[in-house]
């Protein structure tokens, strides 16, 4: 019997971890629907959601105003938060596998810079009548175009290694950031609006955003879940992976494409929310296992729960004002990440 490749720890997702992740998602969603400027009973909130399910008729006990708060304001926001957190986390885990770097994140190849530039152009040019309607599309196109440009530059340079692709992404990111800075300098009246996008926002989430993100979430999730075994093989190195029968360049292209679409879809409806795609998959690596058969599915669950909880803090800590959710993810995520690292470094007795 052949031995597994060196550096890969074969693992399957523990049922206990799946249960914990599922409970975390359900708990975070329930809290997100219940907690806010107007506090609502969790039981009534859940019954209100069930009442809208086909074939289910229950009385929630909420008055019409409270029911409208749940269905029209909080539920789409919570759903978008769940999807954005899941997509950013699973994209971060995929990038960490492609680049064999546990500190990689979804914005590594310039997606953030491309999305920021796209949103800035839409705002500066008042596309869509100056409304936010054109910003998500511009951000999506900008993010995908930036990664495509980085990938094209790497291929043109004859680089097939992750290092060449990474350097191309860094170059593209700085180039696009310089254009964005120039635009903001010339159109200073738009800085506040652009800044709101760059710091991340779920405030304006609607059912339209839910319909926008669901197809991309379904497609990219299926692809990345299907590629998790290939990521395990890829982690041993390109030459060793090729010797084991893996088509390295094709695998890397598929994973980068799927992770980029996931990132672009998330950014288009939420703005730039940092740190989620780094902390969640890397924390899972530290506490649950290094195999991507573990990291990818658990990143979906815990990423969704993490961002939903962060959004609760964003809209309650300074109520009735809101703190940008990107500030929350960085402020609470960074110390937690350091704590996990320190715990892992302690010698066991």
266 in a domain, yes or no? yes
- Position with higher pLDDT, 110 vs 347: 110
What's residue 257's pLDDT? 94
4 in a domain, yes or no? no
> pLDDT digits over 18-72, tens only?
999 999 999 999 999 999 889 999 999 999 998 888 888 888 889 999 999 999 9
Domain harbouring 191, CATH code: 1.10.3470.10
Residue 82 CB coordination number (10 Å): 25
User: Which of 279, 273, 277 has the alpha carbon at shortest distance from 341?
Assistant: 279
69 in a domain, yes or no? yes
d(CA 149, CA 199): 24
2 in a domain, yes or no? no
What's residue 1's pLDDT? 37
Domain count, the chain: 1
Domain limits for position 36: 15-345
3 in a domain, yes or no? no
In terms of C-beta distances under 8 Å and separation of at least 24 residues, what long-range contacts does 128-137 make, across chains too? 132/204, 135/197, 136/209, 136/212, 136/268, 136/269, 137/268
Q: Mean of the per-residue pLDDT values for the chain?
A: 88
């Amino acid at each position: 019997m052949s031995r597994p490749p060196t550096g890969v720890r074969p693992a399957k997702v523990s049922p206990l971890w799946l249960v914990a992740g599922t409970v975390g998602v359900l708990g975070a969603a329930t809290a997100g629907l219940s907690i806010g400027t107007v506090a609502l009973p969790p039981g009534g909130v859940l019954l209100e959601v069930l009442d809208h399910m086909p074939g289910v008729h229950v009385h929630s006990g909420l008055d019409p105003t409270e029911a409208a708060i749940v269905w029209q304001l909080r539920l789409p926001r919570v759903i978008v938060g769940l999807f954005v957190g899941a997509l950013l986390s699973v994209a971060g885990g995929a990038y960490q596998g492609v680049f064999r770097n546990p500190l990689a994140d979804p914005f590594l190849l310039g997606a953030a810079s491309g999305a920021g530039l796209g949103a800035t152009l839409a705002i500066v040019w008042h596309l869509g009548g100056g409304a936010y309607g054109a910003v998500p599309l511009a951000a999506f196109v900008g993010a995908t175009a930036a990664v495509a440009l980085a990938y094209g530059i790497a291929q043109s340079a004859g680089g097939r290694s992750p290092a060449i692709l990474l350097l191309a992404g860094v170059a593209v990111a700085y180039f696009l950031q310089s254009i964005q800075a120039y635009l903001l300098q010339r159109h200073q009246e738009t800085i506040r609006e652009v800044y709101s996008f760059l710091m991340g926002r779920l405030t304006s989430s609607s059912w339209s955003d839910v319909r926008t993100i669901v197809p991309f979430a379904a497609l990219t999730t299926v692809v990345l879940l299907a590629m998790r075994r290939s990521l395990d093989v890829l982690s041993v190195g390109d030459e060793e992976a090729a010797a084991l029968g893996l088509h390295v360049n094709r695998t890397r292209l598929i994973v980068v494409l799927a992770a980029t679409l996931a990132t672009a879809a998330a950014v288009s409806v939420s703005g730039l929310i940092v740190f989620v795609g780094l902390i969640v998959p890397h924390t899972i690596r530290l506490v649950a296992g290094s195999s991507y058969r573990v990291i990818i599915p658990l990143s979906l669950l815990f990423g969704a729960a993490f961002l939903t909880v962060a959004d609760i803090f964003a809209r309650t800590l300074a109520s009735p004002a809101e703190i940008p959710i990107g500030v929350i993810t960085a402020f609470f995520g960074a110390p937690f990440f350091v704590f996990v690292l320190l715990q892992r470094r302690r010698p066991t007795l």
